[in-house]
Amino acid sequence: MQKIVIGNWKMHGDPAMAHTLALQVADVADKCTEKAEVVLCPPAILVLQLATWLVGSAVKTGGQDCHIQPEGAFTGDTSAAMLKQVGCKYVLVGHSERRKFHHETNADVRNKAARAIKTGLIPVICIGETEEERNAGKAKDVLGEQIRECIPEEAISHNFILAYEPVWAIGSGKTPTADDILLMHDYIISLTAKRTGLDLEQIHVLYGGSVKGDNAREILAIEGVGGVLVGGASLKSEEFCRIIQAA
Ligand code: 13P
Atom of ligand 1 nearest to the CA of 126: 10
Report whether 207 contacts 228 (CB < 8 A): yes
The percent of residues above 90 in pLDDT, for the chain, comes to: 98
Q: Is 170 in the pocket of ligand 1 (CB under 6 A)?
A: yes
Tell me how many domains the chain contains. Answer: 1
**Nearest Cα to Cα of residue 144 among 211, 176, 189:** 189
CATH number of the domain bearing residue 57: 3.20.20.70
CA-to-CA distance for 173 and 158, rounded, in angstroms?
31
CA-to-CA distance for 12 and 43, rounded, in angstroms?
7
Task: Give the model confidence (pLDDT) of 94-151 as tens digits.
Answer: 999 999 999 999 999 999 999 999 999 999 999 999 999 999 999 999 999 999 999 9
- Report the catalytic residues: 95, 165
How many angstroms from the chain centroid is the CA of residue 142? 19
Quote the strand ranges of the chain, DSSP E. 3-8, 36-41, 60-63, 88-93, 122-127, 161-164, 205-208, 227-230
Q: Is 211 in the pocket of ligand 1 (CB under 6 A)?
A: yes
Mutate to test the pocket of ligand 1, among 99, 165, 175 (most ligand atoms within 8 A of CB): 165
Q: DSSP assignment, residue 137? A: T
**Residue 73 Cα to ligand 1 middle (Å):** 31
Confidence of residue 189 (pLDDT cuts 50, 70, 90): very high
Give me the pLDDT at residue 157, please.
78
Task: Give the model confidence (pLDDT) of 53-97 as tens digits.
Answer: 999 999 999 999 999 999 999 999 999 999 999 999 999 999 999
C-alpha angle with apex 146: 75 to 126, nearest 5 degrees? 55
Q: Is 227 in the pocket of ligand 1 (CB under 6 A)?
A: no
Q: Is 231 in the pocket of ligand 1 (CB under 6 A)?
A: yes
Mutate to test the pocket of ligand 1, among 5, 6, 8 (most ligand atoms within 8 A of CB): 8
Give me the pLDDT at residue 158, please.
81
Q: Residue 206: beta bridge partners?
A: 163
**Residue 72 Cα to ligand 1 middle (Å):** 31
Report whether 101 contacts 139 (CB < 8 A): no
CA-to-CA distance for 70 and 117, rounded, in angstroms?
12
**Nearest Cα to Cα of residue 151 among 111, 181, 182, 188:** 111
Q: How far separated are the first and last CA of the chain, in Å rounded?
A: 11
Distances (CA, A) of 197 to 97, 143, 157, 190, 194: 30, 18, 9, 10, 5
CA-to-CA distance for 161 and 151, rounded, in angstroms?
10
Q: Which domain holds residue 8?
A: 3-246
C-alpha angle with apex 12: 139 to 94, nearest 5 degrees? 30
Mean pLDDT (the chain, rounded):
97
Which residue blocks in 56-200 are alpha helix, DSSP H? Answer: 80-85, 96-101, 106-119, 131-135, 139-150, 178-196
Mutate to test the pocket of ligand 1, among 100, 170, 219 (most ligand atoms within 8 A of CB): 170
Give me the pLDDT at residue 1, please.
78
Q: Is 167 in the pocket of ligand 1 (CB under 6 A)?
A: no
